[in-house]
């Protein structure tokens, strides 16, 4: 068993309050879709992308696994609904359709604007990766991804940050608040996966799962404080890590929940 484990927790000012091996680069599966959502949201806010524009579900961009669009009859959805599908269920087909419109290079520029040097979306989602493709969908470090989560939440609340405007961050946080995968760091919070819209306190997260990857980033907050985090677990294909990735994620989640709840009142 050889699990590689990294995490970082930062407070609302960006100060790391807990971390382990936070600068190690991991494969992060679907985590990189956050950068795509940030860029799409900014384009919408700037008037360069019409949220009502109808996008076609091109068969050449189809990928199974995560997502709902593959199960729906409609061949077209407006941009705003495509973004909602990505935020809620990490929809692979929707990701590829939106990425065709936004552009991978623009997403990379957005990641760097958000302070990332080693975290990025590298490619579209693929059922099979060949030697000619990027080695992973996305990569990142816990420190950079925790800071991205902090900036999204801070900007959404009206605080100026580098890399994303307040109106764009509000859109991104709205999409991610609908996320249904609360199986990792969020699990100990005991929230309803299908309905956890905040009322004074809340949590949003974006997870990533692959055969040798479990990744999670997000922000938890109360009326008085917020903590942003990223937790990354990777291992080699032949390693048997059993339940250790989830055990570590849940341990971090219990710590976060205790800290956020203790700050209330």
Q: Looking at residue 74, what is its pLDDT? A: 97
79-89 helix and 33-45 helix, angle to the nearest 10 degrees: 150
Task: Indicate if the pLDDT at residue 109 is higher than 90.
Answer: yes
Enumerate residues 6+ apart whose C-beta is below 8 A from 259.
Answer: 17, 225, 227
pTM for this one?
A: 0.97
Q: Looking at residue 210, what is its pLDDT? A: 95
Model confidence over 128-155: pLDDT tens digits? 999 999 999 999 999 999 999 999 999 9
Rounded distance, CA 143 to CA 216, Å? 12
Phi/psi for 66 (5° steps) reads -70, 140
Task: Indicate if the pLDDT at residue 220 is higher than 70.
Answer: yes
For the segment 198-226, the average pLDDT, to the nearest whole number, is 92
Q: Looking at residue 1, what is its pLDDT? A: 55
pLDDT interval class at 28 (50, 70, 90): very high
Phi/psi for 7 (5° steps) reads -155, 160
For the segment 93-116, the average pLDDT, to the nearest whole number, is 98
pLDDT interval class at 262 (50, 70, 90): confident
For the segment 187-212, the average pLDDT, to the nearest whole number, is 90
Domain span including residue 54: 4-262
For the segment 173-187, the average pLDDT, to the nearest whole number, is 97
Rounded distance, CA 259 to CA 158, Å? 23
Task: Indicate if the pLDDT at residue 48 is higher than 90.
Answer: yes
CATH code for position 218? 3.40.710.10
Model confidence over 68-79: pLDDT tens digits? 999 999 999 999
Task: Indicate if the pLDDT at residue 264 is higher than 60.
Answer: no
Rounded distance, CA 130 to CA 152, Å? 34
Question: How many domains does the chain divide into?
Answer: 1
């Amino acid at each position: 068993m050889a699990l590689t484990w990294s995490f970082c927790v930062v407070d609302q000012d960006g100060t790391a309050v807990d971390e382990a091996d936070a600068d190690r680069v991991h494969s992060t599966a679907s985590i990189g879709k956050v950068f795509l959502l940030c860029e799409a949201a900014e384009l919408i806010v700037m008037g360069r992308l019409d949220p009502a524009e109808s996008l076609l579900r091109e068969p050449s961009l189809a990928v199974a696994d995560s997502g709902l669009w593959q199960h729906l009859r409609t061949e077209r959805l407006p941009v705003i609904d495509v973004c909602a599908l990505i935020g809620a269920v990490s929809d692979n087909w929707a990701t590829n359709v939106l990425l065709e419109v936004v552009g991978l290079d623009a997403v990379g520029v957005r990641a760097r604007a958000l302070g990332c040097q080693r975290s990025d979306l590298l490619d579209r989602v693929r059922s099979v990766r060949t030697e000619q493709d990027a080695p992973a969908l996305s990569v990142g470090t816990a420190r950079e991804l925790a800071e991205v989560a902090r900036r999204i939440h801070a900007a959404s609340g009206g605080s100026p940050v580098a890399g994303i405007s307040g109106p764009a961050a509000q859109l991104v946080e709205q999409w991610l608040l609908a996320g249904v995968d609360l199986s990792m760091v969020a699990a100990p919070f005991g929230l309803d996966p299908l309905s956890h819209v905040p009322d004074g306190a809340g949590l949003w997260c974006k997870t990533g799962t692959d055969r040798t990857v479990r990744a999670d980033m997000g922000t938890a907050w109360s009326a008085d404080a917020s903590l942003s985090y990223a937790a990354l677990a990777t291992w080699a294909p032949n390693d048997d890590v059993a339940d250790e990735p989830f055990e570590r994620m849940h341990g971090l989640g219990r710590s976060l929940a205790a800290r956020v709840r203790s700050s209330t009142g």
